[in-house]
Structure 1
Amino acid sequence: MPPVFFSFFVPALFVWLWSTGFIGAKYGLPYAEPFTLLFIRMLLTLIPLAVLAIVIRARWPGWRSAGHVAVTGILVHGCYLGGVFYAIDQGMSSGLVSLIVGLQPLVTALAAVVFLREAVSGKQWAGLVFGLAGVALVIAEKFGGTSSGDTGLPGLTLVWAGLALIGISLGTVYQKRFGTSVDLVSGTMIQYTAAAVLFGVGALLLETRSVEWSLQFKLALGWLVFGLSVSAILLLMWLIRRGAASQVASLFYLVPPVTALEAFILFDERLGPMAMAGGIVAVAGVALVVASGPRKARSA
């Protein structure tokens, strides 16, 4: 395929798929508790991945590599998804959760400098700051009272959202450091298995595990499995392999404005002028980071 396909279409597809995860959570959570929903999601996701692994004859890693992949699964899926779903379940809007975890590129860039010794150029740092400023503009508007439902939230929702932010940031760097040599499909299966164990334990200890199998829940669950857990995650792992961690992370700056647009269409959540300006600034930041290209790691 031509390079333009990989440079523009694949990242754009990933951003759209990833943004729909917040919408799917909002549709599914009225019918099941967070860990219970996520445990079912992980188990269902393993079925198509197992079929795919058999068809393509996926290579399986040794125990040491599998352990590293499992850690990535706990961070990228366990901490991130668990934090996002619990924050939404306890009252935080899908748009606000996406904005908080949208700070991930900056956290990942800092972690990549410390742990991977990636050299981030001046333009890339400028882009990351632009992205942070754009996200901050939208958050400022929401906490300013122009968006209903985002003020007066219990502090625990911020803790869950913060856990999601840390999990996806560290998971991206850990995957880049230890997981790039593992087969994509088998590695993803190991990640989901580790996350399923975490969610299963959480559901047993913290939840009633009751599920209302309504049509809306089934549709939301189906999209979360095939649109997110299969398609989006495979794209994410592929993008991490091909690009610097800070560059891949910059794509997450595009998720909040896309999620906000979807929330407007589906739930009539309206964007004010400050939020719209923030989305434009965030897009400009992503453009700076991506256009600068990857740089080599510094020598020890």
Structure 2
Amino acid sequence: MLLRLAPVLFVLIWSTGWIAARAAAPLADPLTFLAARYALAALALFLILLVFGVKLPSDRRLWAHGLASGVLLHAIYLGGVWYVIDEGLATPLSGLIAALQPLLTAVLAVAWLAEQLTRRQWLGLGLGFAGLVIALLPKLFELEGEALTAAAWLIVINVVAMVSVTLGTLYQKRFLQGGDLRAISMLQYVGATLATLPFAYLLEEMHITINIESIAIMAWSVLGLSLAAIGLLLLLIRHGAVSRAATLIYLIPPLVTLEAWMLFGEDLAPIAILGMLITVFGVYLVNKKPT
């Protein structure tokens, strides 16, 4: 039952990450907030391991792979996304760049993990990306001329973040198929904390406003995003083809656009709705079981 519900739950929870980043931007420096989030997530998982009597891996290689995958999946990816949003890059554009991940993951999964994709699945990947572009075109037109030039270096950072989470997903599938997911997740957040803290110290004032709003955002970021959503993603990677799991990322930007419309009153054009429907159909083609 959990495996059946995991894709829907993952998409619903993970899409709120962009909303959390936007809400936290006035309250905290992005890398500082993320370092605190990773540390709290690692602490929460350590307590969970103690309660359930789960032991950390005895194999040093699993420790190394866990720490390294945490840097790729969390430190570089989320650090890049939160940083560019804090610096003013349009959230839909950031979402579009992140949505390149399924295509890159599919190509690399075929080459690195020897996964096989059917023509229907390749068609679904293409339709998913095309629908995403259609859904976000109205927002993309807002970035022109000087604004687009000023955002160029932020776009580069966002692309690096996208490549990092793609490599992290493949790395997870290849090197971390064994071991308890809770223990591996804890190691990943330890690695992310160690990688993020130095950059927060060098680049930021390490400021976090402590109030009810920031505490609520942090609580959701740790419990909802860092524990629940990432746990579901790792579960999907372990029990399914990595390219199909990555395709769920296509659903995130349209859902973020819908959430921004509901929470912040942003415009939701008919063309955006059309693009979302095309994207959903593309994801269906990729994940549909063969008859």
TM-score category (smaller protein): over 0.9
Is 1:100 matched with 2:97? yes
Matched ranges for 1:143-292 at <5 A:
143-145=140-142, 153-292=150-289
How large is the Cα RMSD of the aligned pairs? 1.7
Pairing partner for 1:39 from 24, 35, 42: 35
Is 1:49 matched with 2:45? yes
In 2, the alpha carbon distance for the partners of 1:24 and 1:93 equals 14
| Offset, 1:58 | 2.0
TM-score, normalisation: structure 1: 0.91
What runs of 5+ residues in structure 1 fail to find an aligned partner?
294-300
| Offset, 1:93 | 3.0
Deviations 1:207-252 (A, max 9, x none): 1112211322111111111110011011111110010000101111
| Offset, 1:69 | 1.6
Structure 1 41/197 Cα, relative in aligned 2: closer, same or farther at 3 Å?
same
Match of 1:114 in 2: 111
Matched ranges for 1:86-97 at <5 A:
86-97=83-94
| Offset, 1:67 | 0.8
Match of 1:136 in 2: 133
What code does the residue aligned with 2:207 have?
S
Larger displacement relative to structure 2 (130-139 or 71-80): 130-139
In 1, the alpha carbon distance for the partners of 2:175 and 2:153 equals 32
TM-score, normalisation: structure 2: 0.94
Match of 2:23 in 1: 27
| Offset, 1:6 | 2.7
In 1, the alpha carbon distance for the partners of 2:115 and 2:148 equals 38
Which consecutive segments of 4 or more residues in structure 1 shift more than 6 A? none
In 2, the alpha carbon distance for the partners of 1:59 and 1:238 equals 19
Deviations 1:74-121 (A, max 9, x none): 111011101110110010233332222022111111110111111111
What SS does the corresponding residue of 1:91 show, helix, strand or coil? Answer: coil
| Offset, 1:151 | 5.6
Contact 1:129 1:285 in 2 (8 A): yes
